[in-house]
Homo-oligomer: A and B are copies of this chain.
Amino acid sequence: MNKSALSSAQKVADVGLEMYKLMAELYPICRSITGNGVRETLHIIGKHIPIEVHNVPTGTKVFDWTVPKEWNIKNAYVKNPHGECVVDFRQSNLHVVNYSVPVKRRLSLSELRPRLHTLPEHPEWVPYRTSYYSEDWGFCLSHTQLLELKEGEYEVCIDSSLQPGFLTYGEYFLPGGTADEVLISCHVCHPSLANDNLSGIALATFLAQHLRAETHRYSYRFLFIPGTIGSIAWLSQHEAETLRIKHGLVLASVGAGDKFTYKKSRRGNAEIDRATCNVLRHSGTPYEIREFSPYGYDERQFCSPGFNLPVGCLMRTPNGEFPEYHTSADNLEFVQPSLLAESFEVTLEIVDALEGNGVYINQNPKCEPQLGKRGLYRSVGGTQSEVEELAMLWVLNLSDGKHTLLDIAERAECPFGEIRRGASLLLAHDLLKQSEAYA
């Protein structure tokens, strides 16, 4: 695979704009861990890539969990004593606690008050709250709205349904040269929240679209799943297939924030961890590498001890660490096409590193081969060596059957791409052969 189809910065920028457009289209939909919002979302993604939609029935046992009833909602509001609509689901789907049971009732402000969630420290923002697994209901509103509420009798209405149905997820499998798989996963359960995680959905979609047009060694499996219960359901029903997963990335919150954050897999030194570290280290962009912790996105499940898959999580600012997280301020103004484009580019480079890694054998291991007579070395001596020559020297020196190209890039402290190009030149001159041990 190469990036020729995306050789210009303009093309990358264009992808950023397309990702943003997709996010804008998905933004108004009221998603949850089940229900029509997810179906509608998958339908729109399906216009870009041919995903399969799967439905797991309510009540299905998935390890320690049970697929819950399906939740759908038509409308919800709070009316004040004057009959004025003071909290309105139609203005923002964040106003209802996600998975609220249906309710239609009149009650005093003091009775209502415990069911109203606000963010006093950000008085204009509406928080995002859920109550998936305990039947409950509530509203979210800005603290300013709350303070304006007067005593009196309020009317609350949540026109939702909680019925036997399905947990719905999307899957796109892109076969490659081998059955070994790269897993790309993103959560599709958040309602009108842009960075978390319409950005991850958009990145997965356009990565898939891009890879479809390329030749690649690995097969790629893209999962568009509700958080936690979705990955648990998928893992529960695909245990055998997980053995084929050689590398994986959870994509989340990739549309806002100055720097990248990569959270390593539980293994800590998996190839995906090392490839991502190499790409970020040489990306010229600020980044942070974190060790695995069992709190975050669906890597929690992929990296549970019974699976321990080599799956890391690529983010910009991580969950819970930006003030807009899980609030109405995580909106379409919060994310930027240029950051989406950069996230796309970095993810492609990670994929390139996975695709291009391998073990090669120096065919002239005793002393250096004479690169000059093959036109691979500057002819006037006494001057400094160049990047390409250095890359070839590193590849020759460490291609003893014990080092992958990624090992070499790490030891040379240089971008994987340079080492890969050095190896290509040597391969073309029969100075290197691919090891059969790592086909």
Contacts and interface: CB of A to CB of B under 8 A. Distances in A.
Interface residues of A, number: 65
A79 B306 CA distance: 82
Nearest to A400: B305
Scoring A127, A396, A397, A398 by chain B CB atoms within 10 A of each residue's CB, the highest score goes to A397
Scoring A304, A379, A383 by chain B CB atoms within 10 A of each residue's CB, the highest score goes to A304
Given A379-B136, A380-B131, A397-B303, A369 B64 contact: yes
Contact of A367 (B63, B127, B370): B63
B384 A301 contact: no
B306 A129 contact: no
The number of times this chain is found in the oligomer is: 3
B382 A294 contact: no
Interface string A381-418: 11111000010011011111000000000011000000
A372 interface: yes
A179 to B, nearest CB: 22
A198 B250 CA distance: 58
A134 B379 contact: yes
For the residues of A in contact with B, the DSSP-based class is: loop
B127 A382 contact: yes
A361 to B, nearest CB: 9
B303 A364 contact: no
Nearest to A232: B367
A398 B127 contact: no
A295 B370 contact: no
A223 B194 CA distance: 65
B266 A128 contact: no
A132 interface: yes
B305 A379 contact: no
A296 to B, nearest CB: 10
Contacts of A369: 63-64
A83 interface: no
A430 to B, nearest CB: 11
A118 interface: no
A385 B130 contact: no
A438 B325 CA distance: 43
A98 to B, nearest CB: 8
Given A294-B396, A301-B368, A320 B380 contact: no
3 shortest A-B CB distances, which residue pairs? A306-B365, A306-B366, A130-B381
